[in-house]
Amino acid sequence: MFIQTEFTPNPSTLKFLPGRSVLTTGTLDITNRDAAERSPLARRLFAVSGVSGVFFGYDFITVTKSDGEWPHLKPAILGAIMEHFLSGDSLIEGDEAMVVSEAQDSENEFFEASDRATVDTIKELLETRIRPAVAGDGGDIVFRGFRDGVVYLAMKGSCSGCPSSTATLKNGVQNLFRHFLPDVREVQAI
């Protein structure tokens, strides 16, 4: 098994491409050891000293480090990923779609019913234009709310804590939304 790695704009996060599907539906952001209990792969990765976060996408895994250097951490992480895929263990114990859905449901959306058309357009732009580009960097951006002209988004994976995420939001996402939606004044990360 050959696993490729890519640097991300976030120096604390590295993207791993195992050459096969990782998560068949949605994305899953695991930010601590307790949240990793339902995933054999996340447990393996959190067992590596210095790992502070794991993010699963369709065909990639991003790992965030709290300390240590990538040349020292990378071999252990590659070993954990390889061991997982060779073991035949599932990514998530139980129903994968249900676990992903539960994680997403825990982050309730907020907006006024009168803003439904604007919110639908925001979600469509996120899904078709923004999320694919952000996934290329090992992350995700998820809609959280819309109020008084402000779009609230959650940054996940390599985007969370990334030094360039503010620039991405303000220069990229905000400008795109403003172009298509005059009701949007600003974009903020939550």
Q: Provide the b/e sequence for 27-52 (b: ≥16 CB within 10 Å).
A: bbbbeeeebbebbbbbbbbbebebbb
| pLDDT computed for residue 52 by the predictor | 95
CA dihedral of 37, 40, 54, 7, whole degrees rounded to 10: 170
Give the chain's domain count.
2
- At residue 93, the pLDDT reads 86
In this structure, are 100 and 140 located in the same domain? no
Task: Let me know whether 92 and 114 are in one domain.
Answer: no
Whether 95 and 117 share a structural domain: no
Q: Which of 104, 119, 143 is the last residue of a domain?
A: 104
- Looking at 104, 125, 158, which one is the last position of a domain? 104
Question: Which pLDDT belongs to residue 133?
Answer: 85
What's 146's domain CATH number? 3.30.300.130
Residues 171 and 122 in one domain: yes
Q: What is the pLDDT along the chain (190 residues), one digit of tens a residue?
A: 799 999 998 999 999 999 999 988 888 999 899 989 989 999 999 999 999 999 999 999 999 999 999 999 999 999 999 999 999 998 988 776 666 655 555 567 899 999 999 999 999 999 999 988 888 888 888 899 999 999 999 888 887 777 777 777 878 899 999 999 999 999 998 8
One-letter amino acid for residue 24 of the chain = T
pLDDT at 108: 79
Task: Give the end-to-end CA distance of the chain in Å, rounded to a whole number.
Answer: 38
- Amino acid occupying residue 62: T
Longest Cα–Cα distance in the chain: 53
Please give the pLDDT value at position 44: 97
For residue 88, the enclosing domain spans 4-104
| Whole-number pLDDT of residue 170 | 79
